[in-house]
Structure 1
Amino acid sequence: MNTVSSPPAPLASAPQAVAAEPLLTLQGVHTHIGAYHILHGVDLSVPHGQVTLLLGRNGAGKTTTLRTIMGLWKASSGALRFDGHLLSALSTPQIAQLGIAYVPENMGIFADLTVKENLLLAARRARTAAQIDSARLQWIFSLFPAVEKFWNHPAGKLSGGQKQMLAVARAIVEPRRLLIVDEPSKGLAPAIVNNMIDAFAQLKASGVTLLLVEQNLAFARRLGDTVAVMDNGRVVHAGAMAAFSADAELQQRLLGLSI
């Protein structure tokens, strides 16, 4: 496990919430994409300060749920609330300004730009790399040494694991209250997966709430506090990750495999 420096504090303006209270809730959320009805009344609760894993077979609606939260696809009906804010009334930039960051499955980095330029684009308060918060940048370097090592290299030349590190680094270059990541361990070598788990644990310790879509159940078990399982556009199970990890029959029934 990597030894990292203490993370910078989260947003100073963020109110302190009771740990048991959900930071994000979805109630009866339906989403249509063209003629296709993808989400069929999703109910989801993401507790403040915890790591929530969203699991499910391919096509269950996990990515659509994340994109609906971010306003990239608009909910047809239902309510999405983040710390009292009704997300369906906001645009994607406005949702991001609440302190929510999203790392899509394709990572969303700019291949022709350097690692430094990718981070600078995400640091809205900085016009030059020198204006990025130095303590926060050093913390990111401690989480992801490859970001510092390849600082002036084109992002497109990085390995898959290094690109994923850069994508997460971009998402947290400014303080965030909620980090949403789609398939963070997909295609990564075990050593890189361990590094990613360490980084997410540090983010949680700093007060960041995490919502992760994941197919790697071993990854989910090591990191998750709570779990929600989707099937056919609905959440069909929600509860503590520890209990889900211990129930092989439930895993087999819901996912077709076990941890």
Structure 2
Amino acid sequence: MNLLELQGVHTHIGAYHILHGVDLVVPQGQVTMLLGRNGAGKSTTLRTIMGLWHASKGRVALAGQDITAAATPQIAALGVAYVPENMGIFADLTVKENMLLAARAAKRAEQMDAARLQWIFKMFPAVEKFWNHPAGKLSGGQKQMLAVARAIVEPRQLLIVDEPSKGLAPAIIDNMIDAFAELKAQGVTILLVEQNLNFAKRLGDTVAVMDNGCVVHAGSMADFAADTALQQSLLGLAI
């Protein structure tokens, strides 16, 4: 079963026609990798799914429900979390305050789900270590961990992350891969935009490759990982 489906999605931003009929499926309970050269339309696809930009044509469906024209808060309320490429961290707030803002069911830190927080701390120790520190003082890798931790502070059915490995040290990438694998094991469906092919190979179940605002290849990540000629033709030397 597919949790998320895009059918013939076009997106215009002002005078610019960015997406040209995107067809994409994200199977439930799996990790789907969205790959492509810079400017292929990957981030625009994520923003269109989240309702930050609205499709000018086509359909976006979540668990069979049409969300094409839904507002971003409505989509989030359906259990969809989004981590943008810039992470969206509130630098002047503490790590705790960043987490509390995302925990909509809690008004104070004490009301956050303690068991869930402990689970998050186990995956992302830096979140616990710097709990009372300003988020702006964290390293790039720690901010990325906070951004993902914040997205999952409440249970989500779909987690969408734009370039989670960007700028991260190899040890931090390993930690991030373990965290996404743990989330998948908990039943979370994950859609990731990535430039790091090794990261994608290690984590992805399925893959879709974009070029010029369209999906030009979709299938098994294992098959794609084994086909270097296909990788070269679709991704060039960008990865």
- Pairing 1:41–2:21 present: yes
SS of 1:88's partner is coil
For the structure 1 residues 150 and 156, does the alpha-carbon distance in structure 2 shift closer, same or farther, using more than 3 Å as the test? same
SS of 2:68's partner is helix
- Pairing 1:114–2:94 present: yes
Contact 1:251 1:257 in 2 (8 A): no
SS of 1:90's partner is coil
For residue 132 of structure 2, what is the aligned residue in structure 1? Answer: 152
For the structure 1 residues 239 and 139, does the alpha-carbon distance in structure 2 shift closer, same or farther, using more than 3 Å as the test? same
Contact 1:252 1:258 in 2 (8 A): no
Deviations 1:190-225 (A, max 9, x none): 000000000000000000000000000000000000
- Pairing 1:143–2:123 present: yes
Structure 1: runs of 5 or more not aligned: 1-20
Contact 1:104 1:181 in 2 (8 A): yes
- Normalising by structure 1, what TM-score? 0.91
Alpha-carbon distance, 1:258 to partner: 9.0
SS of 1:95's partner is helix
Instruction: Choose which of 177, 181, 191 in structure 1 pairs with 2:161.
Output: 181
Instruction: Choose which of 49, 61, 81 in structure 2 pairs with 1:81.
Output: 61
- Normalising by structure 2, what TM-score? 0.99
Q: In 1, Cα distance between the equivalents of 2:92 and 2:128? A: 18
- Pairing 1:59–2:46 present: no
Instruction: Choose which of 190, 200, 203 in structure 1 pairs with 2:180.
Output: 200
For residue 90 of structure 1, what is the aligned residue in structure 2? Answer: 70
Contact 2:37 2:238 in 1 (8 A): no
Q: In 2, Cα distance between the equivalents of 1:31 and 1:57? A: 18
Identity of aligned residues (%): 80
Contact 2:95 2:134 in 1 (8 A): yes
Instruction: Choose which of 23, 36, 52 in structure 2 pairs with 1:72.
Output: 52
Q: In 1, Cα distance between the equivalents of 2:41 and 2:69? A: 22
- Pairing 1:131–2:111 present: yes
- Pairing 1:190–2:170 present: yes
For residue 201 of structure 2, what is the aligned residue in structure 1? Answer: 221
For the structure 1 residues 258 and 32, does the alpha-carbon distance in structure 2 shift closer, same or farther, using more than 3 Å as the test? closer
For residue 143 of structure 2, what is the aligned residue in structure 1? Answer: 163
SS of 2:81's partner is strand
Q: In 2, Cα distance between the equivalents of 1:108 and 1:140? A: 19
TM-align CA RMSD = 0.9
- Pairing 1:253–2:233 present: yes
Alpha-carbon distance, 1:136 to partner: 0.2
Q: In 2, Cα distance between the equivalents of 1:215 and 1:106? A: 15
For residue 211 of structure 1, what is the aligned residue in structure 2? Answer: 191
Alpha-carbon distance, 1:68 to partner: 0.1
Alpha-carbon distance, 1:84 to partner: 1.5
Give aligned pairs, total: 239
Alpha-carbon distance, 1:257 to partner: 3.6
Alpha-carbon distance, 1:90 to partner: 1.2
Contact 1:30 1:38 in 2 (8 A): yes
* Letter paired with 1:49: G
Q: In 2, Cα distance between the equivalents of 1:210 and 1:86? A: 19
For residue 240 of structure 1, what is the aligned residue in structure 2? Answer: 220
Structure 2: runs of 5 or more not aligned: none
Q: In 2, Cα distance between the equivalents of 1:23 and 1:254? A: 26
Alpha-carbon distance, 1:85 to partner: 1.3
